[in-house]
Chain A
C-alpha cells in the first residue's frame, strides 16, 4: 500500500498485522489448549471405546480437512477467474490453506491397521479372501442384490463390531462384491493413494501460500502471472485428489454403496464452508480493529453472495444424489438413505440437515440487506459452519452402528483435538504475515471495489 500515496482510503500498515497486544495474537494459544484437552479426552476415549474412536476421528478429520482443501480451492479459483474483489480477503484463505500439511500427521491414527479394520469392511475381507474365486458375473450379480437386501434388513439389529465381522452374515454376503473391488480397496494401495493425496495437497497449499508471501516483499507482478497460469492445473489436481480421497475414506465406509457424484458433493460442502469461514474470520479480525477499510462491506457482501451460491449448489448436488437413488430404489444404492432415514434418530438429523443447511440459510441470506448487515452475515455464516459439522457427521456416523443413532463425547473431543491443532497452526501463521496480500498488483482495485 505504500505505493498508493494519493489514496485516502488505503489502510495503514498498523492494521494489516496483528499487534502483540491483540487477542488474535493469542488466539493460537486458545486453540492449542483446546487441542491439548481434546487429545487427552480422545486418548481416554480410544482406550475406553476402540470401536467408536476411528469413526469419531474420521468425522473430525474430514470436517477440518475439507476446510483446508476448500481453502486451496478458494485461492486457486481467484487466480483462475482473475478476480480483484477478493484480493483483500484471499490472504485469510491462504492461511487456512497453509495449515493443510498438518493433516498428513493427523491422518496417522486413521491409517493404523486396527482402525482401518474397524472402519472399513473391505480391510478384513481382503486380508483373507485375496485369492480370487470363480468370476461368474451373473452369480455375483445375484448375490449383489441379495447382499443389499440383507444389509437393509440387518439394519434393524445392532451390527456386531467389525472385529467379529467374519461371523456377520452381512459380511459373507458382501464377499463376492468385495472380492471384485479388492484390486482397488486393499490396505496397501489405499495407503499409497493417501500418500499421493497428501503429497499433492501439501505441494499445492504451500506453493500457493509461499508465492503470495513472497509477493508481499518483492511486489513482483510475475508471481501473479505465474499463479494465474498454473491455477487451472491446481484445480484439476485438486478435483481429482479430493474426489478419490473421499471415495477412499468416506464412500468405502459402505463398501457396496456407490455414487458418481460423491466427489462433487463433498466439494460443494467444502466450498460453502471455506467461504463462510473466511467471512467469519474476517469479521472477527475487523471486530478487533484489524484490517481497517481494507475489507469493507463490499467485500463481505460478495463473500456472502458466494457463500449463498455454493450453499444452493450443495443443495442441488445433494438433492440430485438423493432424488436419483430414491427414485430408482435399487437395493444396493438405497441402503445409504435407508440408514439415514429409517433408523431411529437419523431421520431427525437428515431433516435437520435439509432445513438447517439449506431452507433456513436460504431464506435468511437471500436478502441483499442481510448480506450487507455484517452482524447478520456473521450469524448466517457461523450457522453454516455448524451445519458443516452436522453434514460430515451425517456422512460418517451412520456407519458406527448401522441403523442406530448415537452421539458420543468422543466426537466432540476429536473435533477439539483436530480443530484445535489445525487452528493453532493457522492462527500462529497469521501472526507472522500481513493480513492482506500487500504485494498483489490488483490490491488497489480491490480496496476500491464496490458492488454495482
Chain B
C-alpha cells in the first residue's frame, strides 16, 4: 500500500492501526458515563475553592473600589491587564489547533482539538472578567457597546480599547459556535448511548436531532471549513487588537510595529503550553494514552519550539531596534528597565527595578522551549509538564514586563514609581484560575473531551478505499511524521 507510513522518513501511524471506531466511542464517552475518578473530585473541589476565593475578592473589589489594587500613578495598568492578556492569549491555541491546523490538514489535531477549544472558551471568559471590572463600576459596562444610553453618547471607535470589545466578543461568539458545531455529532453519540431518559433528553436536545446524514455532513463540513477559514484571521486579529491597546500609544516599550504578530505568536505559544499541562493531567486521570499518544505530545512540543523561537525573534527585533532607532527613551526602557545590566563607573550592576521579571521571561520563553530540540526531552513527560508550566509563567511575566517596566518610569523622572501587587490582585488572579479549572473539569465530565467523529475520520479504515490495491485513497492522513530516530 502506497499510503502506509514510510518508516525511513520517520512516519508512523498516528493511532494504533487496529483502533476500532467503537473503541474510540467507548473510551471517550465512558468518561461522561462512569463515576468520576477520585482525582477529578480532588481537582474539582480545589478549583471550586479557588473560584469561591474569586467571588469573595470580586465582592470586596466592587464594594471597596479598584483602589484595592496596587495600581498607582505611573503604573495605571498592572495585573488587571496582564491577566487579561495572559488569559486571552491562552485561548489562542485552541483556535489555532481547531482552525489553522485544520486548514493545514494536520490530522493529528483531532485528538486534542475539542479539549483546546473548550480551553479557549473558558480562558476568554476569564479574560473578559478583567476589562469588565477594571473600570471599577461594572454596572456601567454597557457603555462599552454601541447601544443608545442616557448620555446620548456613542463609543469612540477610534480607541483600540473599543476594538478590543468587538474583537473579544466576536472571538468568544465564534469560538463558542465553532466548538458547538464540532460537538453536534458527538452529542448525538452520547444521546444514542444514553441509558436514562434525562441524559437522552438533555444530550438529545443539544444534538439537534443529528442523524449522521451525508446530505447533512456535506453542509456541515463546508460550515466547518468556513468557520476554520474565518477563525484563522480572527485569532490573528484578536491578539493583534490586544497588542494595539499598547502599540498605538507613544510609550517607549509599547510602541513598536512588530507587536501584532509577536503577540499572536506568544499567545499561541502560551496556549499550547496550557493545553499540554491540561492534557497531561487528563490523559493520566482518564487513561487516554491510546488516543492522545506520545506522537501527539511530541508534535505539540515541536509547535512550542517553533512559536517559542518566533517569540525569541520578536524579542531580538525589539531589542535591536530599540538600540538602532537611536531613540534614547526607547533604549532606556530596554537597557535600564528590562535588561538592567548597567556597565558604568561602578562596574556591572543590576540597576533596573524589574530585571528579575525580564530575565524570568527570557529564561522561560526563550531558553526553556529550546530544550525541545532534543528528542529525549521532547518525549519526556516530566520535562514537558515542567516546561509547559514554566512557559506559562514566562508568558505571564512577558505581559507584566511590557506593562510595568514601560509604565513605572515615564518621561518625567519625578513621577517614577514602582508597582507591588496587593492581596486582592493576587486572589483575583488565582481565583480566575479556579474559575477556569471549575468550568474545565465540568466540561470534561459532561461533554466528550475528544472529538469522537473527527478521530474516527482519521482512522485508516475510515477511508473508503482502504485496503483496496490499485484504488488510491484521496486521503492518507493517518500518518504523522516525526523526526527520524536519533
- Listed in ascending order, the chain A residues whose CB lies under 8 Å from chain B are 4, 6, 8, 81-82, 84-85, 137-138, 140-141, 144, 177, 180-181, 184, 221-222, 224-225, 228-229, 232, 236, 239-240, 243, 247, 256, 258-264, 312, 316-317, 320-321, 323-325, 327-328, 330, 332, 441-442, 444-445, 448-450, 452
Contacts and interface: CB of A to CB of B under 8 A. Distances in A.
List the 8 closest A-B pairs by CB distance, nearest first.
Answer: A260-B258, A221-B8, A82-B481, A137-B328, A450-B474, A261-B257, A320-B260, A327-B248
Given A81-B104, A324-B247, A441 B6 contact: yes
A363 B473 CA distance: 33
Contacts of A4: 2
Contacts of B223: none
Given A228-B484, A236-B309, A260 B469 contact: no
B363 to A, nearest CB: 20
Given A181-B326, A239-B313, 5 more contacts: A263-B317, A320-B257, A441-B9, A442-B6, A452-B105
A452 B327 CA distance: 52
Nearest to B7: A221
Contacts of B454: none
What range describes how many residues of B lie at the interface? 35 or more
Contacts, number: 133
Contact of A229 (B236, B328, B332, B483): B483
Contacts of A262: 257
A332 B484 contact: no
A441 B258 contact: no
Interface in B239-265: 240, 244, 247-250, 255-261
A228 B244 CA distance: 37
A324 B313 contact: no
Interface string B1-40: 0110010111100000000000000000000000000000
Contacts of A180: 326
B250 A448 contact: no
Given A221-B8, A224-B9, A312-B233, A184 B324 contact: yes
Contacts of B257: 259-262, 320-321, 324-325
Contacts of A259: 257-258, 321
Contacts of A138: 328
A330 B317 contact: no
Interface in B35-73: none
A6 B469 contact: yes
B476 interface: yes
B250 A330 contact: yes
B475 interface: yes
B376 interface: no
B224 to A, nearest CB: 11
B325 interface: yes
B283 interface: no
- Max chain B C-beta neighbours (<10 A), residue from A240, A317, A323, A441: A323
Contact of A320 (B2, B3, B261): B261
Contact of B327 (A141, A243, A325): A141
Contacts of B259: 260, 320, 324
Contacts of B484: 225, 228-229
A4 to B, nearest CB: 7
Given A222-B8, A228-B9, A323-B244, A261 B261 contact: yes
